[in-house]
Chain A
């Protein structure tokens, strides 16, 4: 899992690349979100290059969402690959996250 952090206005963008799976990717996402929270309350996760996500990875997304929300910020997702979309759909989390298809549109929504 490779994670790159960018900043646009008041939003921290995390570009995620690879697998968000138990033991490796899930921990990396947790650490990156914790770092991002320290620098600002709004986070956009760019999922475009995520190849696989398992239940542990989904759990980390949910944890990140609740942590950011409880701190008064917003966490949104953009560019969901079809397989990631399917996984969130199966557990009805598609209704929890605000998901965008376009980064500019996502940034304007904060």
Chain B
């Protein structure tokens, strides 16, 4: 991907890893002067992507999740990669449909799409990559990435 990577993390496929990654990403987002509100929603989208990677992609266990954080002018980009078998995005049920409203699961991707500006899934030979993009105010972009 063509962006300046600010962090590249490889973590165990455990739910506890979500806290670690979100903490690191939150620190990076603080550097670019995002509001607490914006950081919260980006962090929540990240949590959902990681939860999917661990729960539905790898499973909890010995595999790993990779997280890449980068900035391009006016945009924050988060890539989350698992080592799972992938899934059919078209098979994800609409959580707003009356028959799904009281379901105990199936809202993660929906939240990601509502909280971020773009969410793309890429299925590769050895896993799945989800790319989350959030546009930010131009003045938030660090000078070194704004050239």
Is the pair B108, A65 in contact by a Cβ cutoff of 8 Å? no
What CA separation (Å) do A83 and B44 show in the bound complex? Answer: 11
B interface size (C-beta, 8 A): 21
User: Considering the complex, which residues of chain B in the window 69-122 have a beta carbon less than 8 Å from any beta carbon of chain A?
Assistant: 95-96, 101-105, 107-108, 110-111, 114
Is the pair B44, A52 in contact by a Cβ cutoff of 8 Å? yes
Query: Which A-chain residue is minimally distant from B16 (CB atoms)?
Result: A23
Residues of B within 8 A of A24 (CB): 15
Cβ-based interface call for A8 (8 A): no
Cβ-based interface call for A62 (8 A): yes
Cβ-based interface call for B134 (8 A): no
Is the pair B48, A96 in contact by a Cβ cutoff of 8 Å? no
Is the pair B102, A66 in contact by a Cβ cutoff of 8 Å? yes
Would you give the shortest CB distance from A33 to chain B, in whole angstroms? 12
Is the pair A21, B102 in contact by a Cβ cutoff of 8 Å? no
Cβ-based interface call for B55 (8 A): yes
B39-79 interface bits toward A, Cβ cutoff 8 Å, 1 = contact, 0 = none: 01000100110010001000000000000000000000000
Selected A-B contacts with CB under 8 Å, 16 pairs: A21-B18, A22-B18, A23-B15, A24-B15, A52-B44, A52-B47, A54-B47, A55-B51, A59-B103, A59-B104, A59-B107, A62-B103, A62-B104, A66-B102, A93-B101, A96-B102
Which residues of B come within 8 Å of A, CB atoms? Answer: 15-16, 18, 40, 44, 47-48, 51, 55, 95-96, 101-105, 107-108, 110-111, 114
